[in-house]
Every structure is written in C-alpha cells, then in structure tokens.
Amino acid sequence: MNDEKAKFTWHYYVMALGALGAMLAATLGASGGIVSGLALAIISHPRIPFKTLTRVFFMVLFMILYVFAFPEPEVVRALMAENQ
C-alpha cells in the first residue's frame, strides 16, 4: 500500500503520443500503425526496466515502423472520397 508513485516525466507524454498514434492508425485501418503505436506506448512506461540506450533504440524503431505503416496518400484519398 505504501508504494512510491512514479513521477510525471517525459515517459507519459510518449505513452500518450503512442496511444494517439494508434487511434489515428485505426481510423485508416493501418494495422501496422496500431501495433507500432501501442508498442511505443508500452515500451515508454517508466516502470519497464530497460536502460536508456535499449529503450531509445526500441522507441526509434517503433517510430520508424509507424511512419511506414500507413498506405500511400492516393489510397487514403480514395478511401475518403469513397465514404462521402
């Protein structure tokens, strides 16, 4: 019951960014983006015991995977025009 609470640090901002990115990817149906966004949110949690270099490597890796998970802009425009 007397556990120390984690301080509000940059970890929480990155977790929120990952969660928002996953929701954005869900609107376009990009399953790779959903997985990358959620993985970024999980790996940036302050209680995970990864050290700095390992964590930064995985965070950058998930961000790169997130960028390339989306379809081409023409496909997105076609999907948006189709739904109107």
What percent of the chain has a predicted confidence (pLDDT) above 90?
45
Mean pLDDT (whole number) for 13-37: 91
Is there a domain that residue 36 lies in?
yes
Angstrom CA distances, 73 to 67, 70, 77, 80, stand at 12, 9, 6, 11
Query: Taking all residues of the chain, what is their mean pLDDT, rounded to a whole number?
Result: 86
Domain count, the chain: 1
pLDDT at residue 18, rounded to an integer: 93
Is there a domain that residue 17 lies in?
yes
Question: What pLDDT band is residue 6 in, cutting at 50, 70 and 90?
Answer: low
Is there a domain that residue 42 lies in?
yes
Is there a domain that residue 51 lies in?
yes
Is there a domain that residue 77 lies in?
yes
Is there a domain that residue 5 lies in?
no
1 has a pLDDT exceeding 70:
no
Is there a domain that residue 47 lies in?
yes
CA distance 8 to 53: 21
Residue among 49, 42, 24 at smallest CA distance from 34: 24
Domain containing 21 equals: 10-82
